[in-house]
C-alpha cells in the first residue's frame, strides 16, 4: 500500500503534476484520485481538451448546490468531493498535453468556479439558515466571506505563504476554506457551527498575510485603494 502511495506522488517524465504551491487538502483528497485518472486517460490515448474537463466539472458544482438546497448535505458533500477531484484534473491534463491557455484559467478561476461557488452558498443559506428563520445571520456570514475575498484580491499580492512542508503553500488558504465549507461542514452536518468559524479563520489569515507584506500594511492598503478607484 505504501509503495502505491509513493508511486502516485512520484512524477514520471513530462508529467509536472505536483506544484510547490499545492494546498494540503489537494495533496490528501484530490491527487490520490486525479493523478491515477490522468495516467489512465493517457494510457487510453484520449483526446479531450482540458477546457472540456473544466466545463464538465460545473454540473457537479450545480448538483452539489441542489442537494445543499434540498437539505441532503451528505450527498452534496460527496458531489463536491467529486468536483474537487475533477477540478484537479484539467490543469494537470493541460500541462501534460501542452494545452495550457489563458481561456482555460479564466474558465476555471473567474467564470465557472465562482458561479458554482455562489450557487453552493445559496443552497446552504436556504436549507441551513432561511428555513430556520435565520436568513439574516446566514446572509451576513456569506457577505462577510465575500468582503474578505475581495479584500484579499485587492490588498494582498497573493493569499498564500510558505510552510515548513515543501509541497504545502499554506495551512489555511481559500482552497482549505472552500473545502471545509462545502465538504467537512455538510458531511458532518455542522454547517451552522463550522461556517462562521471558517470565515473567522479566513479573516485572521488575511490579517496575518497583510501584516507580513513586504510593502507594509499602510502601503498595501494605499495601493489597494488606488486599485479600487482606478488611479493606480
pLDDT of residue 6: 77
User: For the chain, which ranges sit under pLDDT 70?
Assistant: 2, 20-21, 164-169, 214-232
pLDDT of residue 231: 54
pLDDT of residue 229: 57
Q: Can you tell me the distance from the alpha carbon of 127 to that of 70, in angstroms, rounded to the nearest whole number? A: 7
Query: CA Rg, the chain, in Å?
Result: 19
Place of cell 468531493: 81
Extract the C-alpha cell encoding 80: 463536491
Homologous superfamily in CATH for domain 21-229: CDP-alcohol phosphotransferase transmembrane (TM) domain (1.20.120.1760)
Question: Which residues does 109 contact at the CB level (< 8 Å), separation at least 6?
Answer: none
pLDDT of residue 72: 98
pLDDT of residue 186: 98
pTM of the complete model:
0.88
Dihedrals φ, ψ of 127, to 5°?
Answer: -80, -35
pLDDT of residue 223: 65
Question: Which residues does 136 contact at the CB level (< 8 Å), separation at least 6?
Answer: none
pLDDT of residue 133: 96
pLDDT of residue 218: 63
Extract the C-alpha cell encoding 163: 510552510
pLDDT of residue 216: 58
pLDDT of residue 196: 96
Name the residue ranges covered by the structural domains of the chain.
21-229
State the burial class of residue 209 (Cβ atoms within 10 Å of its Cβ: 0-12, 13-18, 19+). Answer: buried
30-38 long-range contacts, CB within 8 A, separation 24+: 30/84, 30/85, 30/87, 30/88, 31/88, 32/5, 32/8, 33/85, 34/85, 34/86, 34/88, 34/89, 34/92, 35/8, 35/9, 35/92, 36/8, 37/85, 37/89, 38/89, 38/92, 38/93, 38/96
Please tell me the chain's helix, strand, coil percentages from 3-state DSSP, rounded to the nearest 5. Answer: 75, 0, 25
Amino acid at each position: 500500500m505504501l509503495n502505491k502511495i509513493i508511486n502516485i506522488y512520484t512524477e514520471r517524465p513530462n508529467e509536472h503534476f505536483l506544484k510547490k504551491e499545492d494546498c494540503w487538502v489537494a495533496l490528501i483528497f484530490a491527487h490520490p484520485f486525479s493523478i491515477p485518472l490522468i495516467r489512465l486517460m493517457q494510457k487510453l490515448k484520449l483526446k479531450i481538451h482540458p477546457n472540456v474537463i473544466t466545463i464538465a466539472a460545473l454540473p457537479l458544482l450545480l448538483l452539489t448546490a441542489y442537494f445543499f438546497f434540498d437539505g441532503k448535505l451528505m450527498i452534496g458533500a460527496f458531489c463536491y468531493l467529486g468536483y474537487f477531484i475533477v477540478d484537479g484534473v484539467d490543469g494537470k491534463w493541460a500541462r501534460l498535453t501542452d494545452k495550457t491557455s489563458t481561456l482555460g484559467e479564466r474558465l476555471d478561476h473567474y467564470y465557472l468556479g465562482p458561479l458554482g461557488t455562489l450557487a453552493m452558498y445559496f443552497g446552504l443559506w436556504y436549507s441551513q439558515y432561511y428555513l430556520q428563520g435565520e436568513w439574516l445571520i446566514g446572509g451576513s456570514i456569506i457577505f462577510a466571506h465575500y468582503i474578505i475575498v475581495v479584500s484579499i484580491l485587492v490588498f494582498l499580492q497573493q493569499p498564500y505563504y510558505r510552510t515548513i512542508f515543501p509541497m504545502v503553500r499554506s495551512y489555511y488558504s481559500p482552497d482549505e476554506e472552500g473545502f471545509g465549507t462545502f465538504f467537512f461542514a455538510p458531511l458532518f452536518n455542522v454547517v451552522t457551527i463550522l461556517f462562521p468559524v471558517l470565515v473567522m479563520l479566513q479573516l485572521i489569515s488575511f490579517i496575518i498575510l497583510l501584516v507580513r507584506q513586504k510593502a507594509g500594511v499602510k502601503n498595501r492598503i494605499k495601493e489597494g485603494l488606488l486599485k479600487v478607484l482606478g488611479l493606480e
